[in-house]
Structure 1
Amino acid sequence: MNSFFKGTILLVVAAFFSECVEFFVNMILARELGEEGMGHYMSILPIIFLVFVMASLEFPISISKFIAENKRDLHYQLLQHALKLASFVMVSLLILTMIGLSIPNVLHGFHPFLKWLLLLIIPIAAFSSIARGYFMGVQQMGKVAFSNFLRKAFQFGILLFIFNYFHYDQETSLLIALCALIGSEIIVFLYLISFFIIQMQTMRSATNSTMSWKYARQKLLEVSMPAIGLRIFHAITNAIQPFFIHFVLMTAGFGAVKATEHFGMLMGVAMTIGFFPAFIGHSLMVMLIPNVSVAYVSHDYGKLRNLLQQSMWITMIYGVPAVFMMNVFAEPLTSLFFSSTAAAYYLKLLWPNFLFYFFVIPLQAYLIGLGLVKDAFLHTVWSNMISFLLMYVLGSQASLNMVGVIIGMNTGIVLLAFMHYVTICKKIGISLWLTKQRQSVY
């Protein structure tokens, strides 16, 4: 068994247990926060993820790509420059975030302590992303896999203990849930950074080539900037989406509380269940970026074609049965969260969103490995524009409401998957059926 499959299986197994724990975490939150509280929780999560993405500067992608493509003697110098760049980003973002949070009515309706949580996540994200990128690049997937499981396990343990022995009002319960989330990131940071320091000390004692600050910054940012643009755009759309869907539903005739409840059922229940199998796709993504990068630099057409074929078959094998099972068992699955027929109905309607999202994950990783991050960004922009347009046009109709919103979401992800796929096939010179070899465009 080659290293690609070994690493993928390791990540899949760890991610499976992580997602199982995440499933229980969301069950605890749903029962403790209720429908409206779950809606508020799912509304603030995109903002937290946006801050995390900006602080990480997508170092896991750029560092893993550089580490995989270059000799070991260049690693130490690159990581030193990456730490300096991360420090600059951290200080800049802390200042900007403090200025933003000082504006009146920012995060209105949430506990005041939430602002401090947002500031705390910045240094954690900035430095843990470097360690994660290094371990991905050298394909020490055991550390990456265990860190993902550790995050979920800590969050679950804290929530289970607190909510089992204590009872709080909704606002305090929401703050506790967010504190558990940030606390889990601190645990992961301590775990990764401890091994990273050991690796840095080992590399320091070895023979290392020098690298200028300008060259290192260029190599990091030429991947990070398009990637961070993609992630920031994605994070911004996710941050806007709760308020946009809320507005659309109110336009369709929903009251404010009812709109929040239905959004909570959509994102906190249907999406949680539907995206559960995506841990396999994310495991593929982690493995694909360094492997595709090496094959692309080596002009290994056969390996590029095989990696794409394997990724698509793996996605088909787990994606189609997963979507089928979710449709068959929609009612009992959603009843684990709320006794709501609406949540089960939404889960069934979203099957194209889930299936094509499973394909988008490895396809996006493949684009990054090929150096086509800008293409991935443009695809995301176009698909989201069409998705939001359809969500408004259809969702604002009283006869469709949430069904119209879901149609818009499904259309956007299907379009995104096809644009990614066609671009990859054209780049590596194969047909859409992954068989016919054409002249490469290297």
Structure 2
Amino acid sequence: MKKQTFIQGTIILVVVGMIVKVLGLVNRMVIARLLTSEGIGIYMMVMPTFVLLISLAQLGFPIAISKLVSENNIKQRISNQTIVLKALRISLINSLLLITILLLSAKFLSFNLLNDKRTYYPILSLVFFVPLVSFSSIIKGYLHGYKIMGVPSYSQLIEQIVRITTSISLVIILLPYSIELAVCGAILSMSIGEAISLIYMIYRIKNKRSWNRIIKKRVENKTYEKNIIKDILTISLPATGSRLIGSLSHFFEPIIFSFAMISIGISSHYVTRIYGQITGYTISLLLVPSFLCVAVSIPLIPIISEAHTKKNSEKISHYFNLSIFLSYLSGGIFTIILTLYPNELMKLFFNTTDGVVFLSYMAPLFLFHYFQLPITSTLHAIDKAKSAMMNTLIGAAIKLFLIYILVSTPYINVHGLTTAIIINSIFVTVADFIVLSKTIKMKYNFKTIFTSIYLLIFTYLVGSLLKISQFISNAFINMFILIILYTGIVFLFNIGDIRKIKNQLINH
């Protein structure tokens, strides 16, 4: 297993992430067509619980293990393998606790909070996913700490392929029986995919004899047990706090939305359907470029952690600026295309125009969201996880408050949900950036900032002209022209020193 540089690791994650994202969209397209709006509504009502369980099961392990391993590679205080063993112990106890809570609360959650009894069995289907995602997150964090991005990325690709195959098969098999059983099939496919992914990573580690070293260190490092567990929890709990707050916010989102809509006389079946449209179609489309933000943020944590340990603020500034620029590149062009051609993209991906009305005002403002992950990852790497957690908490409180107030206002209703989501995203991104600016004296390249903004404006104006003039009637050809123009200008004017980035990739 080979270590990668930041650029190499990012490229691997981008390429694999792009493939996974495309496969995921294909899966959503097929599942959406099979389940229809009713089934997607049930599926999306369960998803907040799913996201919450992921946060609780992972317990911040990817960040904590990656950070501890990367720092320990410099300080050499303890064995990295010991860190993994102690994390696995915490994971086992945590998983058993979560499974028990889920089994006891599933009925109350579906019947009383989500107000839809059809979500009961889909919620129970999440039980198998808990231990799998927990163990998997530890292995991924261990590999990321060593700057090994390939194995976790390939495992993600394998997981997605298995998930697509099993989800389509199970939905087709179970759909004749009932819509909720078909949704259960789609959810169970995630557990199957995660299991195969975990087996692959363990095989790759064992194949390089690293796994045997992990086991042998058990007795040798027993004296470090208390300190290691404390170190893991010191990093993981604040990191979990941020994700947990976001997940709880997402968990309560459909509950509050449902109560607010019902309070103004809207039926529960319509609420389920419209919530499925917003979260299953609109938000899913807006999150398409997020794979690059994730790809940039994963290798960012160990690199900035090492730089922070060495008190190298110049290196921190360099990689932070690079991560923001790369996130901007992908998010910028997608924002333009989505703003200009929402109907065409929605029809292409989901064979429907449901949810298009929300894209018209969400797409331009959602650009803030693409910056959020690199900024938050940097805060975690420089030991500012608590500040990030507080910003997430305040943002979540604002979002949930606005959902109830705006949605229960008759002339706003469903648009209150999308408005609250956008306001939350902008607030958290700006608040995290303020904390970062106060902590680290960042150096910014204002030439890159202004040329990037001009690039976005110019490309949008050209796109608007193409659309209005109808010089080329095919929307997808226009999209392709805009992408070529956008990319060409970046390289022609060397925006963000893109040629140097390209040379670094080639030379390595």
Identify whether the pair has TM-score above 0.5, normalized to the shorter chain. yes
**Of 178, 182, 187, which residue of structure 1 is paired with 2:187?**
178
* Residues in 2 aligned to 1:173 and 1:117: alpha-carbon distance in whole angstroms: 11
Aligned residue in 1 for 2:154 = 146
Aligned residue in 1 for 2:33 = 31
Structure 1 pair 434–199 and aligned structure 2 pair: CA distance change class (3 A)? farther
Unmatched 5+ stretches in structure 1: 436-442
Paired residues for 1:250-399 under 5 Å? 250-336=262-348, 341-399=353-411
Aligned residue in 1 for 2:234 = 222
Task: Say which is worse superposed, 34-43 or 185-194, in terms of deviation.
Answer: 185-194
**Of 11, 14, 18, which residue of structure 1 is paired with 2:13?**
11
Structure 1 pair 429–352 and aligned structure 2 pair: CA distance change class (3 A)? same
- One-letter code of the match for 2:79? L
- One-letter code of the match for 1:201? N
**Of 131, 140, 161, which residue of structure 2 is paired with 1:123?**
131
**Residue 378 of structure 1: SS of its match in structure 2?**
helix
Aligned residue in 2 for 1:421 = 433
Structure 1 pair 432–394 and aligned structure 2 pair: CA distance change class (3 A)? farther
Aligned residue in 2 for 1:54 = 56
The Cα offsets for residues 383-409 of structure 1, whole Å up to 9 and x where unpaired, read as 122222223322222222222322222
Structure 1 pair 113–287 and aligned structure 2 pair: CA distance change class (3 A)? same
CA shift at 1:145, angstroms?
0.8
* Residues in 1 aligned to 2:269 and 2:173: alpha-carbon distance in whole angstroms: 29
Structure 1 pair 416–322 and aligned structure 2 pair: CA distance change class (3 A)? same
Q: Say whether the 8 Å CA contact 2:60–2:236 is kept in structure 1.
A: yes
CA shift at 1:56, angstroms?
2.0
The Cα offsets for residues 35-84 of structure 1, whole Å up to 9 and x where unpaired, read as 12111101112212222321222211111100000136621222222222
* Residues in 2 aligned to 1:420 and 1:352: alpha-carbon distance in whole angstroms: 20
CA shift at 1:18, angstroms?
0.2
Q: Say whether the 8 Å CA contact 1:363–1:421 is kept in structure 2.
A: yes
Q: Say whether the 8 Å CA contact 1:21–1:152 is kept in structure 2.
A: yes
Q: Say whether the 8 Å CA contact 1:111–1:172 is kept in structure 2.
A: no
Structure 1 pair 352–214 and aligned structure 2 pair: CA distance change class (3 A)? farther
* Residues in 2 aligned to 1:249 and 1:339: alpha-carbon distance in whole angstroms: 27
The Cα offsets for residues 95-119 of structure 1, whole Å up to 9 and x where unpaired, read as 4334434769578623765465333
Structure 1 pair 339–18 and aligned structure 2 pair: CA distance change class (3 A)? closer
Aligned residue in 1 for 2:462 = none
* Residues in 2 aligned to 1:244 and 1:177: alpha-carbon distance in whole angstroms: 25
Q: Percent identity?
A: 23
Q: TM-score, normalised by structure 1?
A: 0.90
CA shift at 1:166, angstroms?
7.3
Task: Say which is worse superposed, 164-173 or 319-328, in terms of deviation.
Answer: 164-173
CA shift at 1:225, angstroms?
0.9
Q: Say whether the 8 Å CA contact 2:121–2:180 is kept in structure 1.
A: no
Q: Say whether the 8 Å CA contact 1:327–1:347 is kept in structure 2.
A: yes
The Cα offsets for residues 326-366 of structure 1, whole Å up to 9 and x where unpaired, read as 11221022224666545111122211453111100111111
CA shift at 1:165, angstroms?
7.3
Q: How many residues align?
A: 435
**Residue 435 of structure 2: SS of its match in structure 1?**
helix
* Residues in 2 aligned to 1:249 and 1:44: alpha-carbon distance in whole angstroms: 18
- One-letter code of the match for 1:300? N
CA shift at 1:146, angstroms?
0.9
* Residues in 1 aligned to 2:108 and 2:282: alpha-carbon distance in whole angstroms: 34
Structure 1 pair 146–338 and aligned structure 2 pair: CA distance change class (3 A)? closer
Aligned residue in 2 for 1:201 = 212
The Cα offsets for residues 237-278 of structure 1, whole Å up to 9 and x where unpaired, read as 111111222233334443222222111110111111110110
- One-letter code of the match for 1:87? L
Q: Say whether the 8 Å CA contact 2:332–2:367 is kept in structure 1.
A: yes
Task: Say which is worse superposed, 277-286 or 90-99, in terms of deviation.
Answer: 90-99
* Residues in 1 aligned to 2:80 and 2:296: alpha-carbon distance in whole angstroms: 24
Unmatched 5+ stretches in structure 2: 448-508
- One-letter code of the match for 2:45? S
Aligned residue in 1 for 2:69 = 67
**Of 160, 164, 172, which residue of structure 2 is paired with 1:156?**
164
Q: Does 1:234 align with 2:237?
A: no
* Residues in 2 aligned to 1:181 and 1:321: alpha-carbon distance in whole angstroms: 31
* Residues in 1 aligned to 2:173 and 2:215: alpha-carbon distance in whole angstroms: 49
Task: Say which is worse superposed, 399-408 or 139-148, in terms of deviation.
Answer: 399-408
- One-letter code of the match for 2:150? G
Q: Say whether the 8 Å CA contact 2:321–2:444 is kept in structure 1.
A: no
CA shift at 1:433, angstroms?
7.1
CA shift at 1:302, angstroms?
0.7
After superposition, the CA RMSD in angstroms is: 2.6
* Residues in 1 aligned to 2:122 and 2:399: alpha-carbon distance in whole angstroms: 31
